[in-house]
Structure 1
Amino acid sequence: MLPASDPALCHALAADLRAAGYTAEALRDAWGPAADDAIARGLRSPASRALGDREDALAVLGRLLVLGMPQAEASVDRALVRTGAAGLTRLGLADVERGEVRPRALVRPQSYADETGSGQWWIASDLDEAALGGPLPEDHVLGVGGASLTLAGLQLSTPAARGLDIGSGCGIQALRARAHVDHVVATDVSARALAFTRFNALLNGVGGIEVRQGSLFAPVAGEQFDRIVSNPPFVITPRADDVPAYEYRDGGMVGDDLVAAFVAGVGAHLAPGGVAQLLGNWETRDGVAGLDRVRRWIESSPVPLDAWVVERERLDPLSYAELWVRDGGTLPGTPGFARLVDAWLDDFGARSVTEVGFGYLLLRRPLEGAPTLARYETLHAALPGDGLGAHLATALEAHDRLGALDDRALAASVLLVAPDVTEARHHLPGAEDPTVIELRQGGGFGRALGVDPGLAALVGACDGDLPVGVLVDAIAELLGVQAGALRADLLPRVRELLFTGFLRFG
């Protein structure tokens, strides 16, 4: 059964959830942070034990809609005074049998925040492994997981007119995009996923989301968008009959071909100046590093693209196989686990894959002319959950501004050190001069950068008062070095500090 798109019932359910104080923070307070973290690992008993025999609305809804545990019909009717157990049934979210309400879906609260504000959604999705008590069905619609939160936090927070969410799943990316994009088209190969997207938009009172069924760019042939976002089914899965193909993670292609196909096709669907952001996996194959293969995909795009690609993690084939076999609900020691792992290893071996990278891509169609941004980097630090989209937007703005400045113009610019930047100096015991000077970034990607005394002095002096060139000349005199040579050394690094957010234009 699919969730029903009944506006009146969705409105009633939202009012009931609001009246019950059904928020992520309230639930975390109710069962504690350790139990809350355990839920993310598929363990629901700590939260259930913490709630005990509580019968208030928050506890009843937490058991039913977060943990996926049956509840007494009378308890649900008291918790949802407008909707009741009967309304949940009509919405396709539950069944009622002999006085007991059995959930057919989860509806979990999800907080969000960026520099423009904060809020909360309720996100419906299929029952997870803990609620099902076993492996997931292949048409499973996933709720909000770590990858979803990563991409949601990465979305640019600048305004745009038309957006596209490819592989919408439960609709979390479309909802996030609508905070800054006037109209969003959400597509998926799964009719079930689109039903959840439509339902979640109604439940949260978010208009301007249009759903279309189809693969990749087929539902939007001939159309262009200012913003494209995708958490596609990028998981590398063996193409074998006895290996489950989960719609939410498996795009039906060999290896990392799905991400390559997205890169090849996205340029034609970006309006000039439009930006696409997606998550992906890529293989290190036949001795060619994954990031180098991604670079080749982008350089081969029929439409030239600016590119900023970040690799966050690399896994060996065995670790990758175990991760995704577990993700489908088949655990070590259960029937089929070793067989599925071997299928993954055979698949990787056939293509001489030695590592799999995970990360994100930001691709932009230039307003005019050739691409000017080609940045491929590895950043293994954990990303913040929210607010990184603003950092990416600022970095793109700095890149474009720097492209119009030669070194003379940059030297004439007045700069400010970003307020989240700190400096650490490390000395050997008894030594007067530091052996290491490090700049640390509190926001953005949380970068740490080793610098020399000249660059440290320049960053420290960027207070919005004097131009860069004047500061460099003064530092050269203090250090007893030639000013021209110091400029030639520092200005390229100042450009990097402006792009990465350590410095800002005044």
Structure 2
Amino acid sequence: MTADVTDPRTGELVGRLRTDLAGFTVDAVNDLLGPVAQAALGREQTLPARIVVSQHPDEPLAALVAVFLLGLEVPAARLAPAVPTIGLAGLAELGLIATAGNDPGDPVRALLDLRPYSTVDALGPADWWLISDFSEVATGHPLNEDHVLGVGGASLTLARCTIRRPTGRVLDLGTGCGIQALHAARHAQHVIGTDISARALHLARINWALNSGTVPGAVLEGRPGSLLEPVAGELFDLVVSNPPFVITPRSVPAATFEYRDGGMVGDDLVRHLIESVGTVLAPGGVAQFLGNWEGRRDEGWTDRVSSWLETSGLDGWVVQREWQDPAEYAETWIRDSGQHLGKDADDLYAAWLSDFASRGVDGVGFGLITLRRPESGEPRLRVVEERRSGPGLPWGDEVISTLERQDWLAAHDDDALLAAMLKVAPDVTEERHHLPGAEDPSVILLRQGGGAGRVVQAGTALAGFVGACSGDIPVGRLIAALASLLEVDGQALSTELLSDARNLVRDGLLEPTV
């Protein structure tokens, strides 16, 4: 992998840092801290970890954890043995630390968070290091406006849900610290990361260079600019984005942060992305991004998002995973920035509630948006659904499978579907629930063990149809046999079951055998 860190001196320093960080891994940190301190960090409690590192004053790994993960000051003499190749002067030149003087006892503190990152996606395990800004947990202060976010829950969600297949050009819109671009570089030839934040692009470029040995074939490039402006006129096979989608009151400048606020009113940024991303998608290209959307008294969220998909002219699949009322939403993002630590938190809270009230907002949804530019013709996939329980958002391979199944359905009209043969997917089970003493079930559920973890309530006819789908009998013959057995009108049953069969194929509960 090559990254566009053009300054030779910076490249040299990053190479030295990479050498020193060889033992700074997730496993090594976990072993040092132990399960109790590690779990406490997950709850944003640093004291147990601080106690552990204080018990290992001569351990280089403990010094790295103390300085770069916990934000603690340590004597220069303690950190220096952990970075013998780049040295303290080199760390300072990269902007990673500040030193109080030149004596071994003078304190050193980190200016940036530097930590190991370990993951497993569809391509297997990956181990990287990532530089970002410290959170408010480490600093004890609210974040700065130009804060560069590290890897959080949203980043991990998007990385998990993104399609991972060999591809040419990928756009990471709003790259932040560059984590999605690193994931994309594992399966793409050329990745362009864009961001409106100059600091974010600077740190992303350093992160790409720091991890350049992990994906030697890819090219990573950073470009400044807002949304799609830096790549206007270009086409991409995949667009990924954890965009600045947070719905922020425009009346309060203190609520805005570059990493999360796109500068638009309400959910207009997500609407704009859905409606415009098709201009940079190559035929067959896919866009996947996270977003928020409003549910309003005069327009529910499903109608709202569906209208955006209609305008986009793209295949669309939107999965809502979370829903918060206006007060919950405001509390979440005030806490996210550390502003609950400040004296003006109530004013921010009130501004958020007033902003939502001005548009009649009942709640805000969060989820994953998948869009595809059709190879030709009209869009075929339009699904807007809520999944607040079960596995939730789909994995990348499930996204691919859903798109491929939709293509199969589009190529099979009703006559072709009647002639096709279907089989039950191997991860599907059937549950029957009986009232005490009842002979017939009151509820029949078809449950998907993998994929998106769907559960479908089936009537007698649908349950019988699915149970008979063995992959060697045409659909039309199965429906005719069921109509005779149930003594119902064959044409009416065919209309009902063909619609159901299409939904089950689309969702992966039934599979075509040819």
User: TM-score higher than 0.5 here?
Assistant: yes
Residue of structure 2 equivalent to 1:45: 47
For residues 338 and 395 of structure 1, the distance between their equivalents in structure 2, rounded to whole angstroms, comes to 45
Deviates more, 1:473-482 or 1:185-194: 473-482
For 1:342, give the aligned amino acid.
A
Q: Deviations over 1:14-58 (max 9, x none)?
A: 3333334x12x4434443455434434432223333455124344
Alpha-carbon contact 1:105-1:127 (below 8 Å) kept: yes
Residue of structure 2 equivalent to 1:455: 462
Q: Determine which of 320, 340, 357 is the counterpart of 1:331.
A: 340
For residues 465 and 58 of structure 1, the distance between their equivalents in structure 2, rounded to whole angstroms, comes to 61
Q: Determine which of 375, 380, 397 is the counterpart of 2:404.
A: 397
Q: 1:100 to 1:414 in 2, by over 3 A?
A: farther
Note the C-alpha offset of 1:162. 1.1
The SS at the match of 1:381 is coil
For residues 32 and 483 of structure 2, the distance between their equivalents in structure 1, rounded to whole angstroms, comes to 60
For 1:372, give the aligned amino acid.
R
For residues 99 and 200 of structure 1, the distance between their equivalents in structure 2, rounded to whole angstroms, comes to 28
Residue of structure 2 equivalent to 1:56: 59
The SS at the match of 2:164 is coil
**Does residue 160 of structure 1 match 2:167?**
yes
Q: 1:165 to 1:82 in 2, by over 3 A?
A: same
Q: Determine which of 218, 231, 236 is the counterpart of 2:242.
A: 231
- Structure 1's consecutive aligned runs of 4 or more residues displaced over 6 angstroms after TM superposition are none
The SS at the match of 2:181 is helix
RMSD value, Cα: 2.6
* Count of equivalent residues: 498
Q: Deviations over 1:410-452 (max 9, x none)?
A: 2333334333333333233344433322222232222222223
Residue ranges of structure 1 left out of the alignment (5+ in a row) = none
Alpha-carbon contact 1:35-1:47 (below 8 Å) kept: yes
Note the C-alpha offset of 1:375. 1.3
Counterparts of 1:110-121 in structure 2, within 5 Å, are 110-121=117-128
Residue of structure 2 equivalent to 1:429: 436
**Does residue 204 of structure 1 match 2:211?**
yes
**Does residue 247 of structure 1 match 2:254?**
no
Alpha-carbon contact 2:252-2:348 (below 8 Å) kept: no
Note the C-alpha offset of 1:121. 2.1
For residues 228 and 316 of structure 1, the distance between their equivalents in structure 2, rounded to whole angstroms, comes to 30
For residues 124 and 365 of structure 1, the distance between their equivalents in structure 2, rounded to whole angstroms, comes to 34
Q: 1:490 to 1:184 in 2, by over 3 A?
A: same
Residue of structure 1 equivalent to 2:132: 125
The SS at the match of 2:422 is strand
Deviates more, 1:52-61 or 1:489-498: 52-61
Residue of structure 2 equivalent to 1:78: 81
Deviates more, 1:129-138 or 1:6-15: 6-15
Residue ranges of structure 2 left out of the alignment (5+ in a row) = none
**Does residue 220 of structure 1 match 2:224?**
no
Note the C-alpha offset of 1:390. 0.7
Q: Deviations over 1:94-131 (max 9, x none)?
A: 22334433111112222222333222222211111022
**Does residue 497 of structure 1 match 2:504?**
yes
Q: 1:422 to 1:114 in 2, by over 3 A?
A: farther
The SS at the match of 1:263 is helix
For residues 401 and 179 of structure 2, the distance between their equivalents in structure 1, rounded to whole angstroms, comes to 24
For residues 160 and 376 of structure 1, the distance between their equivalents in structure 2, rounded to whole angstroms, comes to 27
**Does residue 104 of structure 1 match 2:111?**
yes
For residues 414 and 109 of structure 2, the distance between their equivalents in structure 1, rounded to whole angstroms, comes to 67
For residues 433 and 48 of structure 2, the distance between their equivalents in structure 1, rounded to whole angstroms, comes to 44
Alpha-carbon contact 2:121-2:159 (below 8 Å) kept: no
TM-score by length of structure 1 reads: 0.90
Q: Determine which of 3, 11, 29 is the counterpart of 1:27.
A: 29
Identity, in percent, stands at 49
For residues 441 and 70 of structure 1, the distance between their equivalents in structure 2, rounded to whole angstroms, comes to 51
Residue of structure 1 equivalent to 2:360: 352
